[in-house]
Amino acid sequence: MDRDGIKIESNFVDDEGKYLNIELGGYVDQANVYHLQRVITDSLRAEIYNVIFDLKNLVYMSSAGWGVIIGEIKRFREQGGDIKLANMPLNIYEVYQMLEFYHIINDYPSVQEAYSSFLGRKTIKETKKKSSSKEESSPMHSKDESNEDREINIVSGNGRTEDAETFVDRFSMDISDILEGTDDEVSQRDVNVKRVDYIPVALEDTANVTNLPLAEKVKKIVSQRPYVGLFQIKRILRHNDFGNTKVGLLKLRKLLKELDLDSKEKRFRFYRSC
């Protein structure tokens, strides 16, 4: 199918018709996302519960597209199946990482590796990930579980858990504006996200934090809350204890890279060194 800017082609990876590969290309946005929803619904009706999305030809996917894919995972897993992503282009992968969707859905460098994971074959990437997970384990994440083997729950910045649908709803903003828009545009959208990520009494020694450079404020947050992600750090910085510091997502993301704190593993490593 090639319609309304979105391209969707489906084929089976196996001979028995149990593993469906959906090649998703073009642009996925609010106007055409119903085509994607229809393909997913058709798969469920046909009792095909193992799906791979091949994204090698995908140019852009809005929050509407991510919402459909992430929001439907639970229905597949309830039937013993799963959804996996493969061949993500760099710009799509950056959004996947920035929104921390790796908590919910696994990605693979190829369709074949995604298919192998369904069959229980450990790929090189999964083996490394498992080894890294053991090394970087924390009291909050003591079990070494893959995304498909656990409840689809996300740990929020204040330590509570939420399901995948709530997680997606909190970020139901146009992702292209986050990546390409100005800091003011992102901040304005952020105001509409109803979420409390920061409890003042939970963070110690905040008296002199307000006058610290931005980098030191970020390190202060990570030293006491290593489990928080990009969005949570941004919101904590806007609290009174941190001088109502406003910073754009792109600038904050760049700073985390410069501080070598751009992954949860690195933040936990920094936390242990403090």
Structural domains of the chain ordered from first start: 2-126 (3.30.750.24), 181-273 (no CATH)
Neighbours of 3 (CB within 10 A): 10
pTM for the whole structure: 0.54
pLDDT at 53: 96
Residue 26, phi-psi category: left (phi > 0), alpha (psi -120 to 50), beta (remainder): left
Q: Which of 33, 9, 51 is nearest to 175 (CA)?
A: 33
pLDDT score, position 177: 39
Q: Is 50 helix (H, G, I), strand (E, B) or coil?
A: strand
Residues, the chain: 274
The pLDDT of residue 215 is: 92
Residue 272 confidence (pLDDT): 87
Strands 6-12, 161-163: parallel, antiparallel or unpaired by DSSP?
unpaired
Pairing of strands 2-3, 6-12: antiparallel
Instruction: Report how far residue 59's alpha carbon sits from residue 253's, in angstroms, rounded to the nearest whole number.
Output: 22
Indicate the SS3 state at residue 245: coil
The confidence score (pLDDT) of residue 214 equals: 92
| Positions of the chain with pLDDT lower than 50, given as ranges | 122-128, 130-131, 133-145, 148-152, 154-161, 169-202, 206
Answer for the pair 24, 36: CB distance below 8 angstroms, yes or no: yes
pLDDT tens digit sequence for 206-226? 457 888 899 999 999 998 888
